Amino acid sequence: MMSPRILIIEDEHLIAHALRSALRVSGVEIAGMAATVEQALALLRSMPKIDGALLDINLRGEPAYAVADDLIARGLPFVFTTGYSAQIIPKGYQHVPVLQKPFDPNEILTALFPNA
């Protein structure tokens, strides 16, 4: 993949901001950042081309599984990011890679595109 376009869905701005800088260094294009479920769904509707997403499972107090379902329906790879331990992820999403915070931004691309 030449320059994947990634969506960062994370409600803590400092974390989103740092991820964006780190991913840009790795040649990733940041398609957008969203802090809420609503914003994330709107971005997914309006974005013509996205190759993957980072998804915090807890967005301003709301579980983010509606966004996960939307990403799955679109066939887009994504990674859950969370401060909780991975055991919290419901059974239906067990195929989704999980990065527990804080994580090395270099892990993101490997988790998103294992075959790249």
Partner 1 sequence: MTDPMNDAQELRAAVDLVGLGRYRQDPVTQIIEWDTRLKAMWGLPPDAAVDLGLFLAGIHPEDRDRVQAALGQSVDPEGDGVCDIEYRVVGVNGNAERWVATRGKTVFDQGRVVSFHGVVLDISERKRAEYANMMLIAELEHRTHNLLAVVDALAEQTILSCETLGDFQVRFRERLATLSRVQGLLSRGQTTPVTIGELVALELRALGAETNGTHVVIEGPEVALPSSSVQILALGLHELATNARKYGALGAPNGSLAVRWHVKSDGGQSFLVLGWAEDGIASRRASNANLSRVGLGRTLIEKSIPYQLDAHTRLEITHDTVRCDVTIALDRSDTQPSWDALR
Interface with partner 1 (CB under 8 A): 11-18, 21-22, 33, 35, 57-58, 60-63, 82-85, 88, 90, 100-103
**Helix H segments across 26-115?**
37-46, 65-73, 106-112
Strands 98-100, 78-82: pairing is parallel
Residue number with CB closer to partner 1 (2 or 66): 66
Residue from 66, 40, 38 nearest 53 by CA: 40
Minimal distance in Å, beta carbon 114 to partner 1?
23
Question: At how many degrees (to 10) do helices 65-73 and 37-46 cross?
Answer: 20
Closest to partner 1 by CB, 48 or 61: 61
3-state DSSP assignment of residue 106: helix
**Least separation, in Å, of the C-beta of 50 and partner 1?**
20
Least distance (Å) between residue 63 CB and partner 1: 5
State in angstroms the smallest separation of the CB of 82 from partner 1: 7
Which lies closer to partner 1 via its Cβ, residue 1 or residue 69? 69
Closer residue to partner 1, CB minimum distance, 50 or 68? 68
* Contact of 64 with 38, CB cutoff 8 Å: no
